[in-house]
């Protein structure tokens, strides 16, 4: 059985303007800007995304984001749950391949005995009937916060005309997710963010604009 360490990404998205940017620059340090191209893959009947599983290729590197189970015994308010998202992040390709095969119902039997794919080999995509359903480029400015260890702020501008910010904390597998959520809540307060509901991410906006059928199906399944 494959077993690799993974991290949990806890994040809250926010909309930003010039005032928010000034607040971020006051309490944080810009650690760089980068541009990257993302492709997302699923089966024609949305077997991955209907389970809130997101398979992405960025700069020839693969990542699988899977929902995590609710925190046992966590005394969370509905508001905290609704503002933050929490996903396991898997970046090891053989592990990604194994997880995707587990999710896809009609993965062919001969997949069980085959060799895990390499970064240079895309044949596994067609074998599992995976095709690209979303593709866009993002320009990202990243900040770390003074006096708040482990918190990162990203300001994203997607090439389809949507911009959104993210406050993110990466937690090692088995780590303290509640503490991460508290750091995010505190950061949001410092930035003067006063959100009552979750802000749409780039993918939600992309699907709504360019893949309305998939958007409607995921919305009715309460994935979005």
pLDDT in tens, 61-92: 999 999 986 543 344 444 455 688 999 999 99
* Domain annotation covers residue 3: no
In this model, does residue 164 exceed pLDDT 50? yes
pLDDT tier at 122 (50, 70, 90 boundaries)? confident
**Residue 199 located in a structural domain:** yes
Report the C-alpha gap between 18 and 15 in whole angstroms.
11
Tell me, yes or no, whether 6 lies in a domain: no
Identify the domain containing residue 143 by its residue range: 12-221
pLDDT at 90: 94
Is 5 part of a structural domain of the chain? no
Q: Give the number of domains in the chain.
A: 1
- SS3 for 115? coil
Q: Partners of 100 in the beta sheet?
A: none
Question: Are 210 and 216 a contacting pair, CB within 8 Å?
Answer: no
| Of the candidates 211, 191, 51, the residue with the CA atom closest to the CA atom of residue 183 | 191
Position 148 scores a pLDDT of 79
Residue 1, pLDDT score: 41
Tell me, what CATH number does 143's domain have? 2.40.320.10
Q: Looking at the domain assignment, is residue 106 inside a domain? A: yes
- Given this model, what pLDDT does residue 75 score? 44
CB 55 within 8 A of CB 125: no
| pLDDT at position 5 over 80 | no
pLDDT computed for residue 118 by the predictor: 72
Share above pLDDT 70 across residues of the chain, in percent, rounded to a whole number: 86
158 pLDDT tier (thresholds 50, 70, 90): very high
pTM: 0.88
Residue 77 lies in a domain: yes
> Is 27 contained in some domain?
yes
Q: C-alpha 114: how far from its chain's center?
A: 29
166-208 pLDDT tens trace: 999 999 877 888 999 999 999 999 999 977 788 999 999 999 9
Asked, for residue 7, whether it belongs to a domain, the answer is no
């Amino acid at each position: 059985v494959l077993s690799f360490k993974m991290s949990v990404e806890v994040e809250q998205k926010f909309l930003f303007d010039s005032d928010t940017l000034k607040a971020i620059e006051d309490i944080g340090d810009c650690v760089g800007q980068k541009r990257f191209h993302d492709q997302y893959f699923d089966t024609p009947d949305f077997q991955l995304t209907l389970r809130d599983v997101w398979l992405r290729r960025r700069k020839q590197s693969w990542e699988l984001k899977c929902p995590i189970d609710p925190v046992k015994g966590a005394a969370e308010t509905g508001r905290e749950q609704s503002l933050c998202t929490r996903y396991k992040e898997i970046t090891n390709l053989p592990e990604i391949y194994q997880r995707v095969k587990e999710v896809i119902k009609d993965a062919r039997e001969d997949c069980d005995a085959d060799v895990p794919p390499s970064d240079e080999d895309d044949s596994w995509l067609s074998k599992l009937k995976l095709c690209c359903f979303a593709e866009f480029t993002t320009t990202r400015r990243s900040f770390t916060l003074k006096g708040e260890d482990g918190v990162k702020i990203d300001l994203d501008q997607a090439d389809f005309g949507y911009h959104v910010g993210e406050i993110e904390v990466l937690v090692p597998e088995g780590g303290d997710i509640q503490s991460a959520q508290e750091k995010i809540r505190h950061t949001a307060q410092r930035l003067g963010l006063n959100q009552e509901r979750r802000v749409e991410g780039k993918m939600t906006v992309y699907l709504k604009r360019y893949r309305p059928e998939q958007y409607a199906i995921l919305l009715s399944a309460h994935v979005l």
